[in-house]
A and B are shown apart, each in its own frame.
Chain A
Amino acid sequence: MVDALYPRVGQAAVDLLEKCGATVLVPEQQTCCGQPAFNAGYRHEARRMARHFVDVFAPLVETGEIDAIIAPSGSCVAMVKHFYQVLFAEPGHERDRDRAARLQPITYELTEYLVDVLGVERIDARYPGRLTYHACCHLLRELGVDDQPRKLLAATDGAEIVGLSGADECCGFGGLFAVKNAELSTAMGRRKARNIRESGADTVAMNDVSCMTHINGLLARESHGCRAVHIAEVLNGSVDGDAKRALADDS
C-alpha cells in the first residue's frame, strides 16, 4: 500500500532511517508480504506471496548485505514475525519456514527500530499544530509496540500533543473486513472519527497506512478539517500544520 498509494511515506521512512545513521537499501523485487490474502483465509495464495518475500530478503540477510528489515507498517511486520510460521507450519514447507525464521528476529516496524535498535530518543522534527496518536491494532497487540511511537511524537518540537479518547480502539479497517463488512467497518470508523474530532487535534499520527486510508476516507466525507498522517511523515517534517490545505492538495 505504501508503495502504490503513499510513496511519500516510503520516502519519509528512508529519510528518517538515514538521518539516524542507517544505510538503507530498498530491494526492487519486493511486492507484498501476503497479509491481505492470509487474513481472508487464503493460505495457499498467501504462502506464494510469502515465499516471494523470503526469496527477496533472505539472500540479502544471508550474505550480510542487510542486517535488519524495516517496514513503516505494524501489520506487515506482524505478518512476517508471527504469521509466516503459521503459513509454513505444514509439512513440506520446512525450507521456507527455516528461511523465514531467520528473518523474524531482525524484522522491525519503523519506530520500533529507531527507538529499540538505533537508540533514538528524539528526532529533530518540527510539527506546529495539535497532534494526537491512534494505536494500530497489529502494532499494539501483536508487536507490543506503543511507547516507541508515542515517545518520538512527544519529542517533536512545536507540537501540542493532545489525548485521544479510545486511542487503543480498533478503527475498523481490518483488511478485507473493510469491504466484506463495509457498514460495520464504517460504523467503527465513524466512532474513531468522532473521537478524533473531540480530541481537537488537527492531525492524528499512526503507523499503518491501512488504518490511515480508512480514517481519512471517513474524515474527508465528513469534511473534518483533521486528517490522519503516517508517523514517518510527521517525524520527518514532511507534513505541515495546515490540515485543510493539505486535504485540498491530496484531492
Chain B
Amino acid sequence: MIVDVGAPYRRRLEQALGDEAQRTAIERATARLSDQRTKALTTVDNPRLRDEARAIRQSAIQNLPSLLEELETNLTANGCQVHWARNAAEATSIVREIAEKSGTRRVVKSKSMVTEEIGLNEALENTGIDVVETDLGEYIIQLANEPPSHIIAPVIHKRVEDISELFQRELGMPPTDDPAVMCAAARQRLRRDFLGADMGISGCNFAIAETGTICIITNEGNGRMVTSMPRVYVAVAGMEKVIPTVEDAVLLWQAASRNATGQNVSVYFSISSGPRRSGHADGPEEMHVVLLDNGRSRMLERGYGDAALCIRCGACINACPVYREIGGHAYGRTPYNGPIGAVITPLLADDPTSYKELPYASSLCGICRDVCPVKIDLPRLLLDLRSDLVESGSTPRSERVAIRAYTRSVESPARFRRLQRLARIASRLPVLPPPLNKWARTREIPPVPAKSFQQLWSDKREADRGESGE
C-alpha cells in the first residue's frame, strides 16, 4: 500500500497523487461502475424511485426510536438476542463476550463497513480468535494487510497483477493473471473456513422493524454462508439502518443494487429473522443483533439528518472527481470515503475537529447530489461542516485573517477599488504571498488590468456626460 492511512492529510494526498498505478485502476473501475449505473437507471422511473427511497429513509429516521423498539421486540420474539452499544468499545466488548460464551475460535465475516468502523477484527484477534474476511475484495486486502478503499469495491485500488502477486505469495497459487483462476484459489481456501467456523459476522444493509429481520446484500454468496453455516450468527447494525416494512426493504434493495453496480438486483439478498427453527437442517443456533450508535445520535443532534439517510450504495464515490484522483485511503483511517465519507467520517468521530481537512477535500461540484438514490444534499452538508469548523475556530489563522481582510475590503466600494490596485501590484511580484503562491506553483496568474470594469464603466459614463455637454 502506497498511501499510509495513518499519515497526516497532506502526506496522504501526496502519496495518492503520486501513485499512477492506483489512479489508473480507480479511474477505470469508477468509470465502469458509473456507466453500468447509468444504464441500469434508464430502465426504471428513477425520479420516482429516488423520491420514494428518500421518503422511506427520512421518515424512518424521523421515527427512529419507535422503529428500533419495534425491531427489538420482533427480533426477540423470533429468538434473537438484541444488544445495544453506545460506541465502538461497547460493541466490540459485546461481540467478544458472545464469542467467549460460545467457545468461538474462528470467525467468518461478510463485507461490513460498520465492523471496520468499530475495529472489530482487531478486537477479536486480540483475544486469539481467527477472523477470516470472506468477501473476495475484503479477503484480498486482509491478505495484503490493508484497509478497504471503497465501500462497495474494497480492492478497487489494486490491479490484477497486484492481486496475483499477493495470492502467489500468501496462498502458494501458481503464477497467473486469470481472474477465474485467482477466484478459484480463493474459493477453495475460504470454503474450508466457512465450513469450519464457529461464528459468522455480518453487517446490515437494512433492518426490517415489522418482522425483526436483518437484510444483507451480496453477490458472492458469502453472505448466505456466513449467516447459515456457523453455529452462531452476529449481525452488527448501525442503528440508522432500520426501516418499517418488508416492501421498503425490497425497494431499497433494488435502488442500492442499481446505483452501486448497475445490477437490477444483487445476486443474493439474504434476510434473516432468527436462528434455525426446529427440524431445519441448517442455520445458526444462536442469532445476535448488535444495534450501534457510535456517533449516529450525535450526528442527528448536530442537525445532519441527511447524512443518516445513506444506503451505502457508493454511487457518489464512483462519480466523485476528487475520489478519482486520490482514491479511498487518502481519506484516512476510515472505511467511509468519497463524498459520503467526507461527511460522516468527521461526524461520527468523537472529536468533531478531527478529519477537519475532509470537508474541504471537495470542489463542491455537486455530481454526488445528482447521483444519490436518496437525494442527500452532500455539497450542502460539506458547506455546513465547513461552517462548523470555522465556528469552532479550527481553520488556519492566516486564512481567517485573509477572509476578514477581504470582507472589510468588499463592504465598501472605495476599499474594494483599493484592493484591486493592491492585487495589481501583488500580481507583478516575483513571489506571491501565501496562499496565492500555491496557485502559482502549477498555474499562470492572469495579468491584472490597469482599470477595473467598474472604473471603465464610470469613465465611459463621464465621457458620455461630457459629450452631451452636461
Contact = CB atoms under 8 A, between A and B. Distances in A.
A164 B390 CA distance: 38
Contact of B446 (A32, A142, A173, A216): A216
A173 B322 CA distance: 12
Interface residues of A, number: 66
Nearest to A14: B457
Interface string A132-172: 00000110111000000000000000000000000011101
A217 to B, nearest CB: 3
Interface in B380-429: 380, 383, 385-390, 395, 399-400, 403-404, 406-407, 409-413, 416, 419-420, 423
B407 A48 contact: yes
Given A184-B326, A184-B361, A217 B436 contact: no
Given A28-B458, A177-B360, A5 B321 contact: no
Instruction: Pick the most buried of A7, A11, A214, A218: most chain B CB atoms within 10 A of its CB.
Output: A7
A108 B404 CA distance: 28
A177 B387 contact: no
Nearest to B438: A182
A7 B453 contact: yes
A5 to B, nearest CB: 6
B51 interface: no
Nearest to A83: B383
A141 B407 contact: no
Interface residues of B, number: 63
Given A174-B363, A180-B360, A182-B439, A217 B446 contact: yes
B449 interface: yes
B108 interface: no
B447 A251 contact: yes
Contacts of A106: none
Contacts of A7: 449, 451-453, 455-456
Interface string A114-147: 0000000000000000000000011011100000
A30 B417 CA distance: 11
Interface in A1-40: 2-7, 9-11, 14, 26, 28-32, 34, 36-40
Given A41-B383, A177-B362, A186-B443, 16 more contacts: A7-B453, A28-B458, A31-B416, A37-B407, A40-B390, A48-B407, A52-B410, A137-B364, A137-B366, A141-B366, A175-B364, A180-B360, A184-B322, A186-B442, A188-B325, A214-B443
4 tightest Cβ-Cβ pairs between the two chains A and B: A174-B363, A217-B443, A41-B386, A10-B453
